[in-house]
Structure 1
């Protein structure tokens, strides 16, 4: 998986900091969403090609034995909480393998890589503009 790590590091490093919430970070995050989305999809497709299959998720409802609160009256007639075993449903997320068409995945990878390259210059310019508009102390 050859990548231009210098460009990726220059563009992605400020994007990773975007979750912090400074004005500069918010500016970068707000204006580089498509680049981040394409980069994430590209990483997913490259992982699928490396493994030879894709991962998908589904929700499964399962039963779990747990403690449930019940109310009863004691000898004095006061209401007291008791805990009794009971079955409760819960939703579990299950990952499973899905076969892929390698040729289709390679075409998808090539298209996403081209789109990422097209967006990289714009994202780099946005990062520089946000850094100029909202300078931060380096201390």
Structure 2
């Protein structure tokens, strides 16, 4: 089932027109900056952010070999990842947001000619 889903998604991705691929390539960094702006605004609104931390744990029983070639039971180590809320420095986040917005403006200016070169009219230009 998982392989079928992956193949379907790959087929759909291949269906993008050359024009769509051109625009996506021209605006890739802008899309990243837009996501970071949204995330930073959310963090400022709630006053904290989330960090993802690895948490090691023992899972099940495996068979291991020792130094003298005997087999014994031992635990298998796995890593789980958990989100944890962390307070933010509001002033620092605001400076980060201001920097991201300035970068967004710069990228928009640079993206317009690239998008137009893809054959897509840019609204508001």
Residue 107 of structure 1 deviates from its aligned partner by 1.3
Match of 2:33 in 1: 38
Match of 1:12 in 2: none
2:104 to 112, 116, 128: 116
Alignment of 1:7-86 (within 5 A): 20-21=13-14, 22=16, 23-65=18-60
Can you list the C-alpha shifts for 1:34-71, whole angstroms capped at 9, x where unaligned? 212211211111111011011111112222337x79xx
Of structures 1 and 2, the larger Rg is shown by 1
CA distance in 2 between counterparts of 1:116 and 1:103 reads: 20
Residue 87 of structure 1 deviates from its aligned partner by 4.4
Residue 127 of structure 1 deviates from its aligned partner by 2.8
Residue 118 of structure 1 deviates from its aligned partner by 2.1
Q: TM-score, normalised by structure 2?
A: 0.63
Structure 1 segments (4+ residues) deviating >6 Å = none
Q: TM-score, normalised by structure 1?
A: 0.57
CA distance in 2 between counterparts of 1:57 and 1:114 reads: 28
Change (3 A) 1:50 1:64: same
CA distance in 2 between counterparts of 1:97 and 1:112 reads: 23
Residue 112 of structure 1 deviates from its aligned partner by 0.8
CA distance in 2 between counterparts of 1:129 and 1:61 reads: 50
Change (3 A) 1:37 1:58: same
